Amino acid sequence: MATIIDVEKESGVSKSTISRFLRGMTVTEENRRKIEEAVKKLDYKLNPIASGLKSSKTFSVGVIIPDITDSFFPPIIKEFEHCMLEHGYHVILSDYGNEKGKEINQLRILSDKLVDGIVIATSNTRSEHIKTCLDNGLPVIMLDRLIAGFSCDSITVDNFNASYRAIGDCIKLGHHKIGAVYGHFYTDGERIKGVKKALKDCRLPIKDEYFTKLVLPADNPEEAIEKMIDLPDPPTLLFCSNIYVGIGALKVRLKRNLNIPEDLSIIVFDEISGFPNHDYVTYIKPEFSSIIQPLSEIGKYAAELLLERMRNPQREYKAVNIELKTRLKITQSIKNIKNDLVSDLKK
């Protein structure tokens, strides 16, 4: 009697894709044809008990993240898991340690385990591993990080617009020399585009020495920040594109005993004190100004979108991006240069 392994060998299609097809899920037209031809040739008969395919669902979903110790993800995963458990789904969490190859392998493993859906925060700039899942009928939601030119359901925040508005407000306070230290991820790129657009729209210079791109977590944010503030003509305001750079700025502040905002004004995309185990930052005054992401909402919307896709696995749909709004929190970490200039003129 032929087995699913025989069908795999005959068709050249992976066992996980064959299993999805046999469970009534959507696969590519080419794979469908190959599987049907192999099944007919081998006279393959599905044995639900032996194959574990009695149900068209496993009621499990996978979450693939770059680093489980990363402060950004726990609040998101907590809300996501809460929503999924309410609907009877178990969550399998996978940490790929910021290794691109490991990410691809873990996605394949979860797909082979026949989870009903995947949420992934990718570190890759190529999309083939995710596209394979989508082609095989496995719903995938991209979290926070997107891949340029690749169409897939995703949950993000208004990275460009939030950065544009925040820097615009800082310019209104008299800051014309604005620098930024930022990461290499998609989100950082969108934020820096917003910063530069705000400068351009106000006809302010964009100096190369004021913009430093890092490959995180390998590069050291503190070194980049110290190098920038040691310039002969340093920026008056520093934009930190994420929590890792923000923590780097906090370390430099304490190391050098900087007077914030007299020595340097600082704004961070992320509220450091809002992350797990970082509430101590509220005691360091003034707290950095920040663009606050709705972390729990990201988890909630990711769950809702994935549930919707899993309810209709065979329905074709157009990928959507749900862009959530951030909140700007301005503190005393940003100096009002314009008011100081007016006061000096009156003296």
d(CA 224, CA 237) in angstroms, rounded, equals 14
Rg (C-alpha) for the chain, rounded Å, is 25
- In terms of domains, do 40 and 170 share one? no
Would you state the pLDDT for residue 151? 92
Q: Is residue 150 part of a domain?
A: no
pLDDT at 52 over 50: no
For position 244, which CATH number holds?
Answer: 3.40.50.2300
> Residue 345: pLDDT above 60?
no
Check pLDDT > 90 for residue 114: no
Same domain flag for 342 and 209: yes
Beta 117-120 vs 140-143: how paired, if at all?
parallel
Task: Report the predicted TM-score, pTM, of the whole model to 2 decimal places.
Answer: 0.81
Is 79 a residue whose pLDDT tops 60? yes
**Within this chain, do residues 29 and 174 fall inside the same structural domain, yes or no?**
no
Domain count, the chain: 2
Has residue 81 been placed in a domain?
no
In a domain, 226, yes or no: yes
Question: Considering the domain boundaries, does residue 72 fall inside one?
Answer: no
38 & 172 share domain: no
Is the per-residue pLDDT at 116 higher than 80?
Answer: yes
Give the DSSP letter of residue 209: G
Give the pLDDT score at 46: 62
* 251 has a pLDDT exceeding 90: yes
Q: What is the pLDDT of residue 73?
A: 92
Q: How confident is the model at residue 249 (pLDDT cuts 50, 70, 90)?
A: very high
Each residue of 118-157: pLDDT tens digit?
999 999 989 999 998 888 888 999 999 899 889 999 999 9
Domain boundary, last residue among 18, 33, 51: 51
Containing 266, the helix (H) or strand (E) segment is: strand 265-269
Q: What is the mean pLDDT of the chain?
A: 89
- Is 56 a residue whose pLDDT tops 70? no
Of 15 and 297, which is predicted with more confidence?
297
pLDDT in tens, 297-322: 999 999 999 999 988 766 678 899 99
Cα 67 to Cα 95: distance, rounded to the nearest angstrom: 6
Could you give the CA distance from residue 228 to residue 238 in angstroms, rounded to a whole number? Answer: 9
How far from 323 is each of 75, 293, 302, CA to CA, in Å?
Answer: 18, 11, 11
Query: Is residue 321 domain-resident?
Result: no
22: CATH? 1.10.260
Please report the pLDDT score of residue 30 as a whole number. Answer: 85
Query: Are 166 and 36 contained in the same domain?
Result: no
Domain assignment present for 265: yes
Examine residue 26 and state whether it is found in any structural domain, yes or no: yes
Residues 170 and 290 in one domain: yes
Owning domain of residue 23: 4-51
189, 332: one domain: yes
**Quick one: average pLDDT of 155-160?**
96
- pLDDT level of residue 343 (50, 70, 90 thresholds): very low
Q: Is residue 152 included in any domain, yes or no?
A: no
For residues 45 and 170, state if they share a domain.
no
Q: What is the pLDDT of residues 203-225, one digit of tens each?
A: 999 999 999 999 988 899 999 99
Confidence of residue 346 (pLDDT cuts 50, 70, 90): very low
CA 191, 197, 202: angle at the middle one, nearest 5? 135
